[in-house]
Structure 1
Amino acid sequence: MRMIRLVSYLGIVPVLGWAVSADAFPLSNAAWSDGLWVEHCHDVRTTYNPTSPLDTKALTIKKEDPRFLDFLYWVWANKIIEHQVEQVGGTEWNGPTSGVIFHWAPGSRWETHTVVPFEHAIHHIADEHRWQDNMFKDFFAPFGPIKGVSIKERLSFDKPPTWAQFLRHIGGPASPYYRYVFHQEASIDPLRGVVVLFSGQGVAFEYTFDRYVKEIMEVLTDCKAYQFFQLYDLYGKGFASRLGWAGQPVPKR
């Protein structure tokens, strides 16, 4: 019911599913179009796809695949799932207001935007990132005492401070938080099957491998990962995940 009021307040329509592709959004010159990706990967054959083109619509690699751990490290090394949240309607452009805009892998060939339903975006930034009002005192102080509580307890759907106001504060063009709370990996723990991430303001949190892959799927298809499969065939297991595999010196810890 509260989400319905948020939608009404912002004048938007909720989106079903996790994210909607938004290829027409403004991107840097580094980004490749879907057509260019297909052009590059169509004739690529690897041990992963020896007889047919790589899938251009989905990412199909599974945890059971011997390539999987190297794949996670390759994603991290290429900064593919680093992302930032834009203000409702886009930051410095007239974008959709049908959800929260996520800007992925800025400045890379994988750069893209997706529109995420508000309920998912709120869970992501409030529950997974565990943001509190005392981490954004410049925003919350005008609305009353700082309490050191979750931003979900302070923000409303129809009464200030609202979610729309907060997203504008952290995702607007002049915001000191726009890049600073940029979501990125810190480490991968193969034994526990988790990825540790950080996001500014002293925030660190963990994703299971399954949760991490769901995020990767917002950006990658098999086609868009074609260079990973080529590198794996060239260098073998451990090429991205094992330090010193080529015999190069590794700093002592």
Structure 2
Amino acid sequence: MKRSGLLASVLIAGLCAMNTETEAFPVSGAAWSEAQWEQHCKNVKTTYNQASPFATKELTLKPDDPRFLDFLYWVWANKIIEHQVEQVGGTEWTGPTNGVIFHWAPGSRWETHTVVPFEHAIHHIADEHNWRDNMFKEFFEKFGPVTGVNIKQRLSFEKPPTWVQFLAHVGGAESPYYRYVFHQESVIDPEKRIVTLFGGQGVIFQYTFDRYLTEIKEVVTDCKAYQFFELYDRYGKGFASQSGWAGQAVPHQ
């Protein structure tokens, strides 16, 4: 699949021209900047960072750390990796066109954008989400029969329907899919080390813990998890992952 082509370039330019000029990634007032995160975490000491400040550029927590399972539940509870894709060039702002823009954790302290290479984004939405053309019938029927095939079989970078057109359809400001296909966690299985996620259009898929951690690292650093480490020290193992740990009533199934 070719990344560039005359048609794709024209479409990208057209989409960017329609966007409102913005100099930086637009996020809500709730989001903390990198400088704000560093200011908040710089003097915090926990059992995880006794000898040095929290890392501000990476997440160093490993799956074999006893804190790890609680960390996954803490990420879920804070909705940190919930995200949606935007149209190429940004939705209602002028952004990068060299990949697909992912908008993470809207309305939270962790809110941010990242730019994902086209190949990775296509794998994510076509292979992991397993999106089909009949899930977006009103878009694909303009280009031929809708047969229930994976969208990767219908889209290209040069010949319509293109990936740029499709991302504008699902990620544009007026799209009914913009928030609806937003995916989020539904179950964490510690025994199988699997996280089940769901999204709009009946999508359900699974990540291994390692794959889930890769996604978390798009947003979270040690510094941005400083409150987790404080809570873990305060309450101990199981505080986020075990129901009823504090003696509160748990509904019987």
Q: Give me the TM-score of the superposition, normalised by structure 1.
A: 0.93
What does residue 106 of structure 1 align with?
106
> What residue identity is the alignment partner of 1:58?
E
Seq. identity, %? 72
What does residue 19 of structure 1 align with?
none
Q: Are the aligned partners of 2:82 and 2:184 in contact in 1 as well (CA < 8 Å)?
A: yes
Question: Take 2:187 and 2:118, find their aligned partners in 1: how far apart are those partners?
Answer: 28
What does residue 168 of structure 2 align with?
168
Structure 1 unmatched ranges of 5 or more: 13-22
Which digits, 9 at most, give the CA deviation of each residue in 1:129-177, with x for residues without a partner? 0000000001111111111100001112111110000000000000000
The alignment partner of 1:185 has SS state of strand
The alignment partner of 1:187 has SS state of strand
Number of aligned positions between the proteins: 242
Q: Are the aligned partners of 1:43 and 1:53 in contact in 2 as well (CA < 8 Å)?
A: yes
What does residue 34 of structure 1 align with?
34
The alignment partner of 1:126 has SS state of helix
The alignment partner of 2:102 has SS state of strand
When residues 8 and 49 of structure 1 are mapped into structure 2, their CA distance, relative to the original with a 3 A threshold, is farther
Q: Give me the TM-score of the superposition, normalised by structure 2.
A: 0.93
The alignment partner of 1:186 has SS state of strand
Please state how far the C-alpha of 1:228 moved relative to its aligned partner.
0.1
Are residues 1:10 and 2:19 paired?
no
> What residue identity is the alignment partner of 1:186?
S
Q: Are the aligned partners of 1:10 and 1:164 in contact in 2 as well (CA < 8 Å)?
A: no
Question: Take 1:9 and 1:221, find their aligned partners in 2: how far apart are those partners?
Answer: 35
What does residue 226 of structure 2 align with?
226
Alignment of 1:1-253 (within 5 A): 2-5=1-4, 9-10=8-9, 24-253=24-253
Which digits, 9 at most, give the CA deviation of each residue in 1:96-152, with x for residues without a partner? 111100000000000000011100000000000000000000111111111110000
What does residue 15 of structure 2 align with?
none
When residues 172 and 4 of structure 1 are mapped into structure 2, their CA distance, relative to the original with a 3 A threshold, is closer
Please state how far the C-alpha of 1:9 moved relative to its aligned partner.
2.5
What does residue 16 of structure 2 align with?
none
When residues 7 and 181 of structure 1 are mapped into structure 2, their CA distance, relative to the original with a 3 A threshold, is farther
Which digits, 9 at most, give the CA deviation of each residue in 1:41-95, with x for residues without a partner? 0000000011211100100001110000000000000000000000001001111
What does residue 18 of structure 1 align with?
none
Q: Are the aligned partners of 2:88 and 2:168 in contact in 1 as well (CA < 8 Å)?
A: yes
Structure 2 unmatched ranges of 5 or more: 13-22
Q: Are the aligned partners of 2:6 and 2:158 in contact in 1 as well (CA < 8 Å)?
A: no
Please state how far the C-alpha of 1:5 moved relative to its aligned partner.
3.6
> What residue identity is the alignment partner of 1:50?
Q
> What residue identity is the alignment partner of 1:202?
G
Please state how far the C-alpha of 1:10 moved relative to its aligned partner.
3.1
CA RMSD of aligned residues (A): 1.4
